[in-house]
Amino acid sequence: MMDYDFIVIGGGTGNKVARYASENGLKTALIEPGPIGGTCLNRGCNPSKMLIHRANVLKTIKDAHRFKIFSEVDGYDFEGIISEIKETIGREAKQKEKDMSEDPNLDLYKTKTHFVDRKSLKVDGEIITWEKILISTGSRPFIPSSIKGLDRINFLTSDEALFLDKPPDRLIILGGGYIAAELGYFFELFGTDVSIIEMEEFLLSREDKEVARNFTKIASKRHNLFTNHKATKVKEENGSFKVWAKNQNGEEIVREGDSVLVALGRRPNSDSLGLENTNVETDDKDFIKTNQYLETTEENVWALGDVAGNYMFKHSADYETEIVKKNAIDGCNKEADFKIMPHAVFTNPEIGSVGITEQEALEKGINFDKGYAKFSSTAMGRAQKFRHGFVKVLVDSETKDILGCHILGHDASTLIHEITLAMQNDLKAENVADTIHIHPSLSKVIRAAFQNV
């Protein structure tokens, strides 16, 4: 039996906590059956953004005629693109594993594990114990049981779709969230006929409704969209797939494609850990319950990242690692503050958002004012001939606090950070409006929106 001061289950973002524990002199174990770096590095954020950048390059070339520059795409090496991405992320994951394995104070177990009881794990037939433990096992694609025949076909998830040897001729995507928006855009640029089936009225339905509505309108010009439709059945016939879906009136459509991508959300990797042998509680969706210190309902057990379900973003997990380091290792009582949590969708055009949406403000009965500015109203917007793009800001009518900001347009994922910083530091709307912004930078659209409140 091996006894550790600190154990981390899951080598995604949690690997940073394992390294920190080791650096602080704790005998540490990291348990991870897959490549170090988790979903984001190996089959999520990183490879998807590498793909999307190549799609953006392709789109720039195709759109060059709008600027009186005439060019053609002679072709592309799709297999080479995927091979290069695999090599890049594989190299980084291997380096992370090498660094871990060379740490004399850290034992790396490349295997699965489960709780035997409240104080012990079974790893490769061996029992190990701990003083403190962190669960950071992440999440996996959610596969619904309600779609008839789905369990009998060879469908794709984002895990596989990111690494196809060639783009499918016809792709049917089930779900209209960020995975559908990003991968739909990528495959469309590389010649795939993309159909998206989404049960809500708009794609990206969790975004501010004005953003979701405008993005859906843009996406409808490049994809076959079936919003307000719910997939009910799938079937594989002679190497192709059929998907049946019904709208709210019971009217049915049938789409045929070469591949089906299931992009209906994610579920936490908590169900195989043997948590029933501990006092760690989960909610009705299997996310591990944590308090403001990211402690679970079991003493000396913490959880972070997707498995805890606070926010399922890599940057929120990075923030949570700092909380766990302080509390589990440094002995502090630092509370996690998720009040200001920005996010982005890296499609084209991009989306950046922070704070509450207009529909949330209305539901909460908050009196608010709106500011709005179009990208095309700025000098840089005109220089780059942006067809789409706007900034929308919500401000409390009485206190002038910034409630939220929602951006649809070029570089929205970068532009949103100015407002995130302002909100994090309790600045008022006038502070942003009165700040000098470089002319003719695109950031002037931010200032214009705040001046228009």
Does residue 363 surpass a pLDDT of 90? yes
> Could you tell me the CATH number of the domain that includes residue 375?
3.30.390.30
Can you tell me whether residue 85 is helix, strand or coil?
helix
- Is 210 part of any domain? yes
**SS3 state at 65:** helix
323 and 242 fall within a common domain:
no
> Residue 1: is its pLDDT beyond 90?
no
* 37 and 104 housed in the same domain: yes
**Measured between alpha carbons, how far is 340 from 256 in angstroms, rounded to an integer?**
42
Shared domain check, 252 and 272 = no
pLDDT tens per residue, range 33-67: 999 999 999 999 999 999 999 999 999 999 999 99
Q: What is the distance between the alpha carbons of residues 291 and 328, in angstroms, rounded to a whole number?
A: 13
Residue 87 domain-assigned (yes or no): yes
Residue (of 251, 322, 263) closest to 293 by Cα position: 322
Question: Is the per-residue pLDDT at 253 higher than 90?
Answer: yes
- Lookup: tokens for 301: 């057990």
Last residue of a domain, one of 264, 297, 316: 264
In this predicted structure, what is the pLDDT of residue 238? 86
Total count of domains within the chain? 3
Share of the chain above pLDDT 90, in %: 99
**Average pLDDT, integer, range 135-143:** 98
**Same domain assignment for residues 16 and 161:** no
The mean pLDDT of the chain is 97
Query: Sign of dihedral through CA atoms 163, 39, 57, 184?
Result: positive
User: Are residues 135 and 9 part of one domain?
Assistant: yes
Task: Choose the final residue of a domain: 264, 281, 303.
Answer: 264
Alpha-carbon distances, residue 53 vs 24, 48, 57, 82 (angstroms): 39, 9, 6, 13
In a domain? residue 116: yes
pTM: 0.96
Question: Is residue 337 in a domain?
Answer: no
Q: Select from 264, 296, 315 the last residue of a domain.
A: 264
With bands split at pLDDT 50, 70 and 90, how would you rate the model's confidence at 239?
A: confident
Name every residue whose Cβ is closer than 8 Å to that of residue 227 and which is 6 or more positions away in sequence: 176, 198, 200, 201, 202, 203, 216
Q: Which residues of 279-302 are buried (b: 16+ CB within 10 A; e: fewer)?
A: ebebeeeebbebeebbbbebeebb
Residue 164 and residue 82 in one domain: no
| Beta-strand relationship, 170-174 and 193-197 | parallel
DSSP 327: I
Tokens of 376: 């095309």
Domain interval for residue 437 = 343-451
Reported as a single tens digit per residue, the pLDDT across 306-316 is 999 999 999 99
What confidence tens digit (pLDDT) does each residue in 277-318 have?
999 999 999 999 999 999 999 999 999 999 999 999 999 999
Residue 118 has a pLDDT of 95
Distances in whole angstroms, Cα of residue 1 to Cα of each of 21, 114, 120, 123, 127 = 21, 15, 10, 11, 5
Confidence (pLDDT) at 265? 96
Candidates 131, 147, 152; CA nearest to 199 is 147
200 and 283 part of one domain: no
The verdict on residue 239 lying in a domain is: yes
Tell me, yes or no, whether 380 and 435 share the same domain. Answer: yes
Rounded CA-CA distance 402/65 in Å is 40
Are the beta carbons of 6 and 133 closer than 8 angstroms? yes
Question: Does residue 62 form part of some domain?
Answer: yes
Domain match, 158 and 126 both: no
- 45 Rama sector, left if φ>0, alpha if ψ -120 to 50, beta otherwise: alpha
215 in the same domain as 73: no
Residue 271 shares a structural domain with residue 260: no
Map residue 92 onto helix, strand or coil. Answer: helix
Residue 334 lies in a domain: no
Is 235:172 a contact under the CB 8 Å cutoff? no
CATH number of the domain bearing residue 72: 3.50.50.60
> Burial level of 189, CB count in 10 A (0-12/13-18/19+)?
buried
- Percentage of residues in the chain with pLDDT exceeding 70? 100
Residues 6+ apart with CB under 8 A from 118: 277, 278, 279, 298
CA distance 373 to 361: 20
Beta strand 113-117 with 120-123 is antiparallel
- How confident is the model over 77-89, as pLDDT tens digits? 999 999 999 999 9
CB 372 within 8 A of CB 447: no
The pLDDT tens digits for 326-347 are 999 999 999 999 999 999 999 9
Based on the domain organization, do 208 and 258 belong to the same domain? yes
Query: 198 lies in a domain?
Result: yes
Q: How confident is the model at residue 203 (pLDDT cuts 50, 70, 90)?
A: very high
Residues 24-35: pLDDT tens digits?
A: 999 999 999 999
Residue 30: which of 90, 105, 89 has the closest Cα? Answer: 105
Helix, coil or strand: residue 386: coil
What's the confidence (pLDDT) of residue 313?
Answer: 95
